[in-house]
Amino acid sequence: MVVMLSWQSRKMKPTHLLKSTLKLAKETIKLAKIQLEDIGLIVHGGVYKEHFRTEPAFATHVQGDLSLHCTHLSMNSSHCFSFDVTDGSCSPHIALQTIADLLPSMNSKYALLCVGDDRPTKHCEWNEESYCFVAVIGMSGNGPRLLSVDSDDRGFNQKLTIKGYFDEEVRGNKIAVSGDITFSETKHEGGSFSGHQRWLSGKHMHAFHSLMDEHNDTLEHCIVDRSGKSTTAKWEF
For 54-68, give the DSSP string: -SS-HHHHHHHHTT-
**Domains in the chain, start-ordered, CATH in brackets?**
3-143 (3.40.47.10), 149-236 (no CATH)
pLDDT of the chain along its 237 residues, tens only? 899 999 999 999 877 899 999 999 999 999 999 999 999 999 999 988 776 677 789 999 999 999 987 666 565 667 889 999 999 999 999 999 999 999 999 988 999 999 999 887 777 777 888 999 999 999 999 999 999 999 999 888 877 777 776 777 777 777 777 777 788 999 998 889 999 999 999 999 999 998 887 777 899 999 999 889 999 999 998
- Burial profile 180-213: b = 16 or more Cβ within 10 angstroms, e = fewer: eeeebeeeeeeeebbbebbbbbbbbbbbbbeebe
Q: Angle at Cα 96 formed by Cα 30 and Cα 140, nearest 5°?
A: 55
pTM: 0.90
